């Protein structure tokens, strides 16, 4: 079992490394560094003006619970395991213990950073910064440890009591954090340690006689991996994941904005591709919303302009593959349409989408009430939108045509 785990981990690490290399390519790292800088700067500005209000404690607790919920148990199991490893069910718990320990790694790093980030907020909550931050950190780690035990126990459903559920743990964690911010995080730490040690104490009792539920475990792992791959798919092509389609009837209104007619055949088709293929509209909306939120946190006009430009460029870049999604369909070559219609239609669609995105990004600044910031973000977004659709795109399509 130990060999199997090591082998799986090596395979997994190799595959992930390949994708991470693609995700963190040069221009994305640049964007990340700037984003991180903007976030830290924004946070420090917010901190300066922050006073103790009633919602600060509950909000901080909510954020910490959300971070706590991140990080599933990575079992690295495969569909064939249910057949080939079935005779080894009894020994498999040792494999799962290893998997659980590995799954702790990333959440622990994340929670340590979260604790450090929460440090300057503690004095505002009238808690001693240093005396409160240590118990808070310990509490979060103990809660994550319990969370992963609960996730593991979910694969042995027979003897595990009904109350041993993940959502219940997260609610308890929220209440404990809330109480901790009210009195002192030492209280949270006590609750967390009681839960964690209690779980570990009863563990063998529940695990020893129970049967491993193979299929739910494999399903859970498949879902976890597909979430990860969908994330990678935001940045690069993940083979076998790209071709999803959803009907999205509620978006038909947008699809009907393009009137029918031979001259608009490509535009008509591409709008539907954009709205219904899984890889475009979700990403577009997400990037606009994230960008708007980031811009809302910024109050320097030049920083907002820079961010708006970056986000518009990124969105444009992510939409480029839409031009090629119909290449496999032989009919697109047979229609009696002018060859110039396709690039023109795409230019128009991309231009409109990017201008809308620029507007959406500027709205972020508007919500936080900065007219100047909103204006500069809008102008920067529009300039990039025009540059991408009317200048960058034609040169890129010309390159494609040569190939």
Partner 1 sequence: MLEIQQLTGGYGTVPVLKNVSFTIPDGTITGLIGLNGAGKSTTIKHIIGLLRPLKGTITVAGHTLADDPEAYRQALAYVPETPVLYPELTLKEHLELTIMAYALEPKAAWERANEMLVRFRLDNKLDWFPDNFSKGMKQKVMIVAAFMTEAKLFIIDEPFTGLDPLAVHDLLDLVQAKKAAGASVLMSTHILATAQQYADRFVLLKDGQVRADGDLAQLKREFGLADASLDDIYLAMTAEGSQA
Q: Which residues contact partner 1 by CB under 8 A? A: 243, 245, 247, 260-262, 264-265, 268-269, 272-273, 275-277, 326, 328-331, 333-339
Report the residue count for the chain: 403
Q: Minimum CB separation from partner 1 for residue 245, in Å?
A: 5
Query: What is the spatial distance between Cα 99 and Cα 85, in angstroms, rounded to a whole number?
Result: 16
CA angle 297, 369, 114 (to 5 degrees): 20
Instruction: Please count the other Cβ atoms lying within 10 Å of the Cβ belonging to residue 382.
Output: 18
- Are 115 and 140 a contacting pair, CB within 8 Å? yes
Query: What would you report as the CA-atom Rg of the chain, rounded to the nearest whole angstrom?
Result: 25
Which is nearer to partner 1, 148 or 271 (by Cβ)? Answer: 271
Q: Minimum CB separation from partner 1 for residue 64, in Å?
A: 41
- Are 191 and 51 a contacting pair, CB within 8 Å? no
- Closest of 111, 184, 175 to residue 145, by C-alpha: 111
Q: Minimum CB separation from partner 1 for residue 331, in Å?
A: 7
Instruction: Please count the other Cβ atoms lying within 10 Å of the Cβ belonging to residue 310.
Output: 22
Q: Tokens in use for 370?
A: 């900065």
Which is nearer to partner 1, 48 or 247 (by Cβ)? Answer: 247
Query: What is the spatial distance between Cα 101 and Cα 210, in angstroms, rounded to a whole number?
Result: 21
Give the count of alpha carbons within 13 A of 277, CB side only. 19
Q: Minimum CB separation from partner 1 for residue 249, in Å?
A: 9
Q: Tokens in use for 193?
A: 């340690």
- Closest of 281, 293, 356 to residue 325, by C-alpha: 281
Q: Minimum CB separation from partner 1 for residue 346, in Å?
A: 15
Q: Minimum CB separation from partner 1 for residue 318, in Å?
A: 18
Q: Is 368 exposed, middle or buried (0-12, 13-18, 19+ CB in 10 A)?
A: middle
Q: Minimum CB separation from partner 1 for residue 275, in Å?
A: 8
Query: What is the spatial distance between Cα 264 and Cα 342, in angstroms, rounded to a whole number?
Result: 9
Q: Minimum CB separation from partner 1 for residue 247, in Å?
A: 7
């Amino acid at each position: 079992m130990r060999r199997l785990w090591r082998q799986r981990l090596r395979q997994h690490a190799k595959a992930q490394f390949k994708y991470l290399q693609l995700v963190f390519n040069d221009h994305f790292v640049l964007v990340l560094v700037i984003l991180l800088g903007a976030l830290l700067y924004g946070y420090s500005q917010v901190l300066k003006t922050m006073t103790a209000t009633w919602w600060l404690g509950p909000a901080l607790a909510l954020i910490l619970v959300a971070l706590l919920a991140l990080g599933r148990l990575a079992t690295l199991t495969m569909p064939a395991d249910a057949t080939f490893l079935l005779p080894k069910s009894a020994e498999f718990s040792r494999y799962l213990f290893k998997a659980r320990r590995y799954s702790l790694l990333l959440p622990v790093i994340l929670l340590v950073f979260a604790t450090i980030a929460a440090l300057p907020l503690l004095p505002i909550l009238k808690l001693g910064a240093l005396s409160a931050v240590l118990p808070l950190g310990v509490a979060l780690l103990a809660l994550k440890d319990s969370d992963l035990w609960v996730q593991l126990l979910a694969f042995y459903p027979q003897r595990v009591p009904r109350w041993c559920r993940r959502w219940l743990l997260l609610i308890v964690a929220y209440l404990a954090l809330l109480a901790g911010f009210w009195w002192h995080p030492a209280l949270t730490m006590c609750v967390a340690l009681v839960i964690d040690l209690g779980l570990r104490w009863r563990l063998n009792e529940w695990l020893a006689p129970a049967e491993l539920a193979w299929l739910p475990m494999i399903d859970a792992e498949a879902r976890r991996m597909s979430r990860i791959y969908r994330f990678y798919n935001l940045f690069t092509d993940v083979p076998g994941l790209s071709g999803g389609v959803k009907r999205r009837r509620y978006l038909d209104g947008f699809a009907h904005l393009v009137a029918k007619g031979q001259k608009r055949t490509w535009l008509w088709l591409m709008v539907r591709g954009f709205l219904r293929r899984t890889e475009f509209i979700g990403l577009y909306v997400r990037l606009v919303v994230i960008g708007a939120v980031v811009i809302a946190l910024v109050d320097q006009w030049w920083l907002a302009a820079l961010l708006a430009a970056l986000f518009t460029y990124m969105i444009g870049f992510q939409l480029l593959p839409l031009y090629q999604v119909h290449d496999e369909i032989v009919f697109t070559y047979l229609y009696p349409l002018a060859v110039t219609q396709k690039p023109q239609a795409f230019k128009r669609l991309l231009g409109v989408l990017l201008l809308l995105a620029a507007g959406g990004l500027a709205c972020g600044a508007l919500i936080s009430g900065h007219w100047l910031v909103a204006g500069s973000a809008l102008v920067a977004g529009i300039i990039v939108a025009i540059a991408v659709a009317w200048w960058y795109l034609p040169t890129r399509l010309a390159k494609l045509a040569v190939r």
